[in-house]
Amino acid sequence: MTHRQRIVVLGHGMVGHRFVQAACERGLTETYDIVVVGEEPRTAYDRVGLTSFFEKGADALALLVDDTYPDPRVRLMTGVEATDVDLAERTVALSDGESIGYDQLVLATGSAPFVPPVPGRDLEGCFVYRTIEDLERIREASREASTGVVIGGGLLGLEAANALVQLGLDTHVVEMAPRLMPAQLDDGGGTALLRHIEGLGLHVHTDARTEEVVGAEGRVRGLRLAEGEIEADVVVFSAGIRPRDQLARAAGLAVGERGGVVVDHQCRTEDEHVWAIGECAAPGGICYGLVAPGYTMAEVTVDAMLGGEGRFDEADMSTKLKLLDVDVASFGDAFATTPGALELVFADAVGGLYKKLVVADHPSGQGLRLLGGILVGDASAYGSLRPMVASDLALPENPEELILPAGRAVADVGLPDEAQVCSCNDVTKGAILAATDAGCEDAACVTRCTRAGSTCGTCKPLVKKIVEDHFAEQGKQVDRSLCEHFPLTRQELWDVVAVHGYTSFDEVVEAHGSGRGCDLCKPAVASILATQVGQHVLGRGRRTLQDTNDAYLANLQRNGSYSVVPRVPGGEITPEKLIAIGEVARDFGLYTKITGGQRIDMFGARMEQLPAIWRRLVDAGMESGQAYGKALRTVKSCVGQSWCRYGVQDSTSLAIELELRYRGLRSPHKVKAGVSGCARECAEARSKDFGVIATEKGWNLYVAGNGGYNPVHAQLLAQDLDKQTLISYIDRFLMYYCRTADRLQRTAPWVASLDGGLERVREVVVDDSLGLGSELEAAMARHVGDYVDEWQATLEDPEKLARFVSFVNAPDVPDANITFTQERDQTTPADSEGPVVIAAEISVGAPQ
């Protein structure tokens, strides 16, 4: 009988988990049993996305389904610590008294937060930011706190700051370097990030050294810097990490000068039976604090145990993340340390964008090659730029096009097969193409087979484009169907509804689809019907098609309550209407917030309260602001010529006219607009889906700008227009967008996807090259003529009103799961771990 050997893995974090996954996938468990010892009380979870714990909970972060591996030859132990390693006996002593023998030992013990040796660091209220348990302790302490300080302005420090912001604390960040994220960003990138973060209300102290954590009665009361003191109730140390190499040191294994277990290019220590991977390892004397190098080490170790020749020679330290709603990315030689390197920089201080490419002469002598870069404010190009660094690809003749807002998509620059597309899982373009040739018919299948895009997700758009381009090159039809129920795109669905005159989802699915529909096709068809037919979204046969927010004409919040946003056209409002909003908020105990679109949002309404709130607002002369729908949201304006000494046109009147004209227009995605009365641009019109800026001769029209996940500046479509021409062009632009854009596609990516881009839009809208101008304007005129306020129409229909109860068979019973507390003299949600329940049924008097 063949003796089965044993691998013991110490540590069940992301890297330890990846090692076990790779071992199972590549057949290592055919020879070895695997025992995994995890010190934390829970199995491996996504530590990269730790901040989302407050929003999604621990289960959403878990990497292991049902806390067990499907391979029976893997034994997983949690809540147990390894206390000693005996290299001579090849045994590991555990904190529960057990001793486990091994044939191969893998150290994946990770790292520990570094806490600077400042006085007061042990006071109650001081924390580190590393585990879910750390976050639970921080959350508990924040319940009675108002101000928090994070010591450290690097990657982890800003993630910790984000956590404190989510907990409602007034947050300070203290960084001893002269800029934020000093390891990833240069001065320009750090300045751009600083503007973004300070704009969100955080207080940033750079070039600042912490001298003491100030306390009183054993608790934190503040932080003393060389420049002065900061009041604080909570202090979070996130000033770096240190490798957890204590077991290796005690066992006599070599460690690096700055810590970390010394390993060779196959991650083997000086003991041939012991390996080290992840943050506790020091290949080449360097410790890496990112997950991607750890994953590579795990793969290399499995390969070496199978007799392979895989090597870990250097790590890709590229990173992309969203910090406090700001996109940040750094890749390759971001600081231009390579001899002969040149920097190409695009900086837009007003728009909050900073983009830098580091280039050098290509070895072939033909053009330039990309060495690295930095992106702040818009990192949408990261997924395509980063692979170009390793591919040694020659850049286009005008490389600035890769980062300019109006530039072409960098994914169109062909990558060689050996280019690494997914750095987290080391997946090349060639591996992606091999998966398609092996039977994968879409990007989702490729991700399942190769793991490309399955970790941080930043390369998913590029993976999708590679798959679709590959199929197109082979002459295969690329399936862009809306969903499994319709073999049609959204644009094709628009056309069949228009041609056949359908008025219901049932008619559309019966004639052109199958099944009963899903969460993808139902809202899409509902949007098309709303634009073309103009019926109330809650009418018979249409209510069940809507997303949750549309179905209740209000925005669902995290605690199960709703927000209500009345329309404030152009941001202009009378004192009487302001008083009415204030009285409604006061009488119903609602939280009030001025939005970025110049109106007032009221949070905390229970479902059964919505009709009563609408009645008060409608009686005061207000209507729905459609904040819940994929529709026109707002037309923001400055005060313009009426009041401003710089204004050259009446921007407020035009903004009100445009907002009232396009209100309620259901579109593929939400639409925002702005009107500025002069070139000083106080209404930020160029960040909107359509924006209008006054000139001495009339109005300039800009289109396809977006805020949100990937900010894009709008581009000039036409200039010096009179008002009538301006409105006709906007009519055409919006209806052309509604007709041809994909589901949930905002105007910026829609224009970029058109053959010809902005020029194509100009041909259709301005030049009327297709002869559709009158038809598009007529369609908009029908929408304007058919508009009905959805709140008022609901109030007038008893059948629609009957739905607005928390429990359908107990209309007078409020939902006890929705609870509130008070912060800053306003109503806010009380923390609740329970799920949101919508229109559930209960029996009156039954146990709750």
Q: Would you say residue 541 lies in a domain?
A: yes
Which CATH number covers residue 452?
Answer: 1.10.10.1100
Burial (CB count <10 Å: 0-12, 13-18, 19+), residue 71 = middle
Q: Would you say residue 255 lies in a domain?
A: yes
The two three-digit tokens of residue 461, written as one number: 């758009």
> 599: pLDDT confidence band, cut at 50, 70 and 90?
very high
| Same-domain status, 396 and 291 | no
Q: How far apart are CA 580 and CA 755, in angstroms?
A: 49
Please say if the pLDDT value at position 291 is more than 90: no
**Range with lowest mean pLDDT among 301-305, 338-342, 537-541:** 537-541
Beta bridge partners of 82: 94
- For every residue of 250-268, which 3-state class applies, written as one string? HHCCCECCCCCEEECCCCE
**pLDDT (average), residues 20-44:** 93
Contact 676, 693 (CB under 8 A): yes
| Same-domain status, 235 and 252 | no
Structural domain tally of the chain? 6
| Same-domain status, 675 and 751 | yes
Which CATH number covers residue 104?
Answer: 3.50.50.60
DSSP letter at 114 equals: -
User: What pLDDT sits at residue 832?
Assistant: 45
Q: How far apart are CA 347 and CA 718, in angstroms?
A: 25
Known binding residue 445? Answer is no
pLDDT in tens, 453-505: 776 666 766 787 788 778 777 777 666 677 778 888 888 888 888 888 888 88
| Same-domain status, 659 and 745 | yes
| Same-domain status, 450 and 511 | no
Please say if the pLDDT value at position 2 is more than 70: no
Contact 175, 223 (CB under 8 A): no
Q: Would you say residue 602 lies in a domain?
A: no
| Same-domain status, 340 and 397 | yes
The two three-digit tokens of residue 355, written as one number: 């983009």
What pTM does this model have?
Answer: 0.55
Report the amino acid identity of residue 158: L
- Would residue 430 be called left, alpha or beta, if left means φ above 0 and alpha means ψ between -120 and 50 degrees? alpha
Please say if the pLDDT value at position 382 is more than 70: yes
- Residue in this structure with the two tokens 């639970």, named with its chain if needed: 136
Q: Would you say residue 557 lies in a domain?
A: no
Known binding residue 678? Answer is yes
Which residue, of 737, 766, 783, is where some domain finishes?
A: 783
Please say if the pLDDT value at position 95 is more than 80: yes
The two three-digit tokens of residue 173, written as one number: 């960040």
Between residues 327 and 206, which one has the greater pLDDT? 206
| Same-domain status, 475 and 504 | no
Which strand ranges, in their side-by-side order, compose the sheet holding 555-556? 555-556, 562-564, 600-605, 591-594
pLDDT in tens, 510-530: 888 887 777 778 888 888 888
User: What pLDDT sits at residue 677?
Assistant: 93
pLDDT in tens, 98-121: 999 999 999 999 999 999 999 999
pLDDT in tens, 797-837: 888 888 787 655 556 667 666 878 888 888 888 764 433 33
| Same-domain status, 472 and 501 | no
Which CATH number covers residue 717?
Answer: 3.30.413.10
Q: Would you say residue 448 lies in a domain?
A: yes
Which residue, of 439, 460, 479, is where some domain finishes?
A: 479
User: What pLDDT sits at residue 408?
Assistant: 36
Question: What percent of the chain lies above the pLDDT cut of 70?
Answer: 92
Q: Would you say residue 775 lies in a domain?
A: yes
| Same-domain status, 64 and 18 | yes
Which residue, of 260, 282, 305, is where some domain finishes?
A: 305
> 58: pLDDT confidence band, cut at 50, 70 and 90?
confident
**pLDDT (average), residues 172-186:** 93
The two three-digit tokens of residue 100, written as one number: 């486990």
User: What pLDDT sits at residue 816?
Assistant: 67
Q: How far apart are CA 669 and CA 500, in angstroms?
A: 24
Contact 594, 631 (CB under 8 A): no
Q: How far apart are CA 672 and CA 522, in angstroms?
A: 24
Q: Would you say residue 173 lies in a domain?
A: yes
Q: How far apart are CA 831 and CA 820, in angstroms?
A: 8
Please say if the pLDDT value at position 760 is more than 60: yes
| Same-domain status, 634 and 775 | yes
| Same-domain status, 754 and 696 | yes
pLDDT in tens, 200-233: 889 999 999 999 999 999 999 999 998 889 999 9
Known binding residue 644? Answer is yes
Residues 6+ apart with CB under 8 A from 84: 92, 93, 247, 250, 251
pLDDT in tens, 638-678: 998 888 888 899 999 999 999 999 999 999 999 999 999 99
Domain that holds residue 771: 630-783
Q: Would you say residue 591 lies in a domain?
A: no
Reference 627, options 557, 569, 553, 679; nearest CA is: 553
**pLDDT (average), residues 91-95:** 95
Q: How far apart are CA 114 and CA 78, in angstroms?
A: 24
User: What pLDDT sits at residue 186?
Assistant: 92
Residues 6+ apart with CB under 8 A from 237: 113, 114, 115, 116, 121, 126, 127, 128, 129, 151, 152
| Same-domain status, 767 and 656 | yes
User: What pLDDT sits at residue 583?
Assistant: 96
Which CATH number covers residue 334?
Answer: 3.30.390.30
The two three-digit tokens of residue 724, written as one number: 């009538």
Please say if the pLDDT value at position 298 is more than 50: yes
